Amino acid sequence: MSFMNHVRTVAKEALERTSIIAKFLCCLHFTGNYLCSPTHAYGPSMLPTLNIAGDVVLVEHLSPRIGKVGYGDLVLVRSPLNPNRNLTKRVVAMEGDTVTYFDPLNSDSSRIAVVPKGHVWIQGDNIYASRDSRHFGPVPYGLIKGKVFFRVWPPSSFGLLDN
């Protein structure tokens, strides 16, 4: 085998391997951004549904894109106060609904809010330790990143999450 044939063979093999890696990375990107991805949910706001120390959950990203998020769904939302953070909360009202809630700053008085078009009202399951729509109002539907549907960690709680 001549030197040039050897170079061609090595170059062809390198191109084939590069192509496989590129296809894998494209598939990984598509799956993680448009189908399903894992995320770490932690803090006291979703007790008792999620653990305070943190759970690793799977989030499917297709439902919000096709408008299939509804009452009782556990959702991953980009924080309206800090876009670098994600929140895991439950959808308790949809556009057009009227919500009566207690003002977190003044527990003696209740407030009423109407959820505007294109928005949802989210709250944590632990209403005493949750920063949610009671603090920052209705959340635009576009901030919903996905529906949380499965817990993968800790192993003792492995399985589907109920609405």
Map 121-142 to HEC letters: EEECCCHHHCCCHHHHCCEEHH
Is residue 45 annotated as a catalytic residue, yes or no?
yes
Is residue 63 annotated as a catalytic residue, yes or no? no
Other Cβ atoms less than 10 A from the Cβ of 72: the count is 9
Does the bond joining 154 to the residue before it have cis omega, within 30 degrees of 0? yes
Tokens read off for 44: 């006291």
State how far the Cα of 108 lies from the Cα of 2, in Å rounded to an integer. 88
**Residue from 2, 23, 45, 133 carrying the catalytic annotation:** 45
Among 135, 153, 142, 136, smallest CA distance to 75 is for 142
Comparing CA positions, the residue from 82, 89, 81 lying closest to residue 144 is 89
Judging by beta carbons within 10 Å of its beta carbon (0-12, 13-18, 19+), is residue 52 exposed, middle or buried? middle
Q: Which of 12, 63, 89, 130 is catalytic?
A: 89
Residues with a catalytic annotation lie at 45, 89
